[in-house]
Amino acid sequence: MQMNSILRRPFRFRFFNATLYLIAVNVFIFALGYVWPMVTYALALSPQAVMAGWVWQVFTYMFAHANLTHLLVNMLGLFFFGMPVERALGSFEFLLYYLLSGTFAGIASFAIYAFSGAWNTMLLGASGAVFALLLAFGVLYPKAMVYVYGIIPIRAPVMVIGYTAIEIVFTLLGAASSVAHLTHLAGFVAGAAYFPVRLGMNPFKRLREK
């Protein structure tokens, strides 16, 4: 009972645009890596490097990006889904959710790469944490409409289910791709666990709301 109360102890609600600060950090690190490429290699998740003691990479990988397009896509997702999630949860809760989900996705990805012998893989990008935000948006705003490509309207829960299905299909097909589908799924899993453990909320029940 005591452990449960500690896990669910709420933060004092504050909103200070943490989403924008996260975006600024990502942009700064990308710019720094452009000038000094070793920064990107030091932050990106390499199974060999983690085994050699660079354990911070399971956290820092989510702040490093391969190129400008990679950065732009992830930052757009962080902005459009992070802002409403932050307004609903408060900035401190939002940061905890985002950073824990991203770290879990990093740890899970490392474990999968190590188990499969993919030692030369390099993982980078915020997409694991951003996919957790997709889930959070659907859970917190189940009646919201999202316009795919700015044209096709779908309800937020349908978007979440659709993206999850796509990631599962690509993972099962095992198609060669630069996209880390298992990392995305790990972000979903982390988010799905966070809501009942931390917030006492059943995310799947919320997604089924009419």
Question: Residue 99 falls within a domain, yes or no?
Answer: yes
Q: What share of the chain has pLDDT > 70, as a percent?
A: 94
User: Looking at residue 76, which CATH number applies to its domain?
Assistant: 1.20.1540.10
Tokens linked to 199: 């917030």
> Residue 141 is part of which domain span?
12-207
Q: Is the pLDDT of residue 176 over 80?
A: no
Please report whether residue 3 resides in a domain.
no
Judge whether 106 lies within some domain. yes
* 140 φ/ψ angles, rounded to the nearest 5 degrees: -80, -25
Distance CA 63, CA 31 (A): 11
Let me know if residue 1 belongs to a domain. no
Q: pLDDT tens across 15-25, in order?
A: 999 999 999 99
Mean pLDDT value across the chain:
91
Whether residue 5 is contained in a domain is answered as no
Q: Do residues 157 and 207 make contact, with C-beta atoms less than 8 angstroms apart?
A: yes
In a domain, 59, yes or no: yes
For residue 17, give every residue at least 6 positions away whose Cβ sits within 8 Å of its Cβ, in sequence order, or none: 86, 91
Backbone angles phi, psi at 117, to 5 degrees: 80, 15
Whether 6 is covered by a domain: the verdict is no
Give domain status of residue 63, yes or no: yes
pLDDT computed for residue 3 by the predictor:
57
Q: How far apart are the C-alpha atoms of 103 and 109, rounded to whole Å?
A: 10
Residue 123 pLDDT class (50, 70, 90 cuts): very high
What would the mean pLDDT of 184-193 be, rounded to a whole number?
94
Domain count, the chain: 1
Provide mean pLDDT across the span 144-160.
85
Distance, in Å, from the CA atom of 2 to the CA atom of 114, rounded to the nearest integer, reads 36
